[in-house]
Amino acid sequence: MTSETTQNNIAWRDAIEEAIRSYLDTYPTAVQELTKFLEYRRENETPQVLIPMEELETKLEMINNIIKVQRFRRDEDWMLNKIQFSYLIRMRASDLRDLSTIGWLAELTLNAHGQATRQFLQKGRFVPTTTAGKGKANDNESLTNQSGTSLKRGVVEMNPIGRNRETIKGCLELDKHTCVITGLGKPTVAHIIPFAWNSTDDNRAATETLKHALWYMSCDPRADSPEERFKKFYETKGVSDKTWNVISLCHDLHSLWGYGIWALKWRGSIELEDNPSRSRITLQFHWMPRNIKMDDSNYSPLQTLVPEEITVDGVNALRDELKHSYGGEQHSCPDGNCKTCLEVAKIGARDCRSGQPIKTGDIFTIIRPTEDVDKCKEAFDLQWAIINAAAISGCDLILNDDYESDGKIEPPPAERGDPDEIEFDLETDYQYRIEDWVMGEDQD
C-alpha cells in the first residue's frame, strides 16, 4: 500500500468520524438509536434457492414428457408458457412423473396455473364503478364490492359474505396487535389465501376448478383425501376466513404482499409447553426477485417457451434473469444504470424496534391454535408456491393483463365485443384490490 493510499484512508476515516460526531451532537437521541441498531440480532437462516437444482435433469426429462403428452391430447404445436414452467420446475420429480403419465390430470393442472396466479394476485382487479344499464354503483354496493367481486369478469354478486369480526379480533389478539414482521402497531388483518376465493358462490365455484393445481402446490396429491383437505378453500362462503388463514401486517407490507413482492416460507411448528392448545409457528421471510425481463416492454410471462429453454442451460439462463431482488439486497450491475436495479431499490421494510432492514432469511414466529396448524401450513404453502412461480415468470402483478384458465391473455370486454362492457376506475380498483384482502382493526 502506497503512502498516498494510506493518507487517503486516514482522511476518509477522519471525515466519517467527524460526520458521526457532528450528527450525534445535533441529535442526542441518535446515540440510543445507533446502539439499538448495532446490538439488535434477528434470527436469520440461509434461504433456499428459488429454483432447486436437485434432480434437475430428471425434472426436465419429465417436463418434456409432459409436453409430448399434451401435444398428443391438444395440438402438435402446443407448448408451455413461462408461468406453467415456473410451477413445474419447482415441483418434486415424483409429482412431475405423475403428470407426465396421466395426461388428463396434467391438462387440468396446467390449465389452472394461470388462473390460480391471477386469482391470487389480481383478486380485486375487476371492481366495477359503473355497469351497463345500471349507472353508478350505489354506496351499499361499493361497500360490499371489496369482498363480493366475482372472479368472473364484470359480475357482482349482490349477497357476498362479509368479513368475520371474530376472526379479526382473534388474529389481533394472537399477534398482540402488532405487525408480525416489523413490530409496528395498528396492523391490518391480512388473508394468506385471499378472502375473495370464497366470498361469493361464483368465487367458490371458480376456486374449486383450481383444485388439481392446488394439490400439487401445497401437499402430496397421493396422500389421503386431498380433495377433502382442500374444501377448506371453497366449500362454503367465507370458509377460510379463520385465524389459520390470517396474519397481522403493517399496511405497507400488506400492499407489497398483494403484488407478490415478498413471501413467507413455512419452517415448522411446535406446541407451547405451558399451553399445548397453542403452537408456535416459525416462518421465514423472503424478498422475491424481480425478473429482469419485466423491464422489457415486449415481454410477457404468457409467451410460450422454445425447446432450448427447457434444458439445463435454459434453466441457468432463467436463474440469471433473477439476480435482482427487492428489499435492498439486490444484485448490483456494473454499469450503474440498470433499470431493474433502480426498481428494486425502491422497495424495503424495517424493524421498528431497531431500525434494521428486514432481510431475506429473517425468522418470525406467530402463535395459532394447535388444532389449526395443518390448515395454516397449507395456506402458507399455497401462498409460497404461487408467489414464487409468479416472481420467476416475471408476472408478479400485471395490471394491464388478464389470464384465462388456459394461460392466454383475455382481451378487455370492449375488444371482444362483450355487450356488458364495464368501465373501471384504476384508482378505485387499486384501493379495492388491496382492501378485498384485508380488513383493518375494528375501531368501534
Each residue's pLDDT tens digit, 194-228: 999 998 888 889 899 998 888 888 766 666 667 77
C-alpha cell at 382: 399455497
Between 49-58, 168-177, 260-269, 378-387, the lowest mean confidence (pLDDT) is in: 49-58
C-alpha 114/C-alpha 332 separation (Å) is: 31
What does the pLDDT read at residue 291? 85
Percent of the chain with pLDDT over 70: 73
Between 52-56, 213-217, 354-358, 424-428, the lowest mean confidence (pLDDT) is in: 424-428
C-alpha 291/C-alpha 392 separation (Å) is: 6
Residue with cell 401450513: 377
C-alpha 322/C-alpha 86 separation (Å) is: 12
What does the pLDDT read at residue 16? 85
Higher pLDDT, 283 or 427: 283
What does the pLDDT read at residue 396? 62
In contact, 63 and 84? CB cutoff 8 Å: no
DSSP lists the bridge partners of residue 289 as: 325
DSSP-assigned letters across all residues of 358-398: P-TTBEEEEEEEGGGHHHHHHHHHHHHHHHHHHHHHT-S--
In contact, 409 and 140? CB cutoff 8 Å: no
DSSP lists the bridge partners of residue 409 as: 403
Over residues 77-118, the pLDDT tens digits come to 999 999 999 999 999 999 999 999 999 999 999 999 988 888
In contact, 193 and 379? CB cutoff 8 Å: yes
SS3 321: coil
Would you say residue 422 has pLDDT above 60?
no
What does the pLDDT read at residue 245? 97
Cβ contacts of residue 117 below 8 Å, gap of 6+?
A: 83, 386, 389, 390, 395, 403
Cβ contacts of residue 233 below 8 Å, gap of 6+?
A: 193, 197, 198, 207, 214, 239, 240
Between 35-44, 232-241, 404-413, the lowest mean confidence (pLDDT) is in: 404-413
Would you say residue 281 has pLDDT above 80?
yes
State the CB neighbour count (10 A cutoff) for residue 40. 12
In contact, 158 and 147? CB cutoff 8 Å: no
Would you say residue 165 has pLDDT above 90?
yes
Query: Which of 174, 196, 117, 165 has the alpha carbon at shortest distance from 404?
Result: 117
The band of 330, judged by pLDDT with boundaries at 50, 70 and 90, is low
C-alpha 431/C-alpha 379 separation (Å) is: 24
Phi and psi, residue 246, nearest 5°: -140, 150
What does the pLDDT read at residue 218? 73
In contact, 301 and 401? CB cutoff 8 Å: no
Higher pLDDT, 427 or 227: 227
What does the pLDDT read at residue 346? 82
Between 54-68, 94-108, 137-151, 391-405, the lowest mean confidence (pLDDT) is in: 137-151
Would you say residue 66 has pLDDT above 50?
yes
The band of 428, judged by pLDDT with boundaries at 50, 70 and 90, is very low
Over residues 338-358, the pLDDT tens digits come to 888 878 878 888 888 877 888
Mean pLDDT, residues 401-405:
38
Q: Which amino acid is at 115?
A: Q
What does the pLDDT read at residue 48? 83
Over residues 110-162, the pLDDT tens digits come to 999 988 888 888 755 423 323 333 333 332 222 233 344 455 544 555 567 88
Residue 255 exposure: Cα atoms within 13 Å on the Cβ side: 10
pTM summary value: 0.77
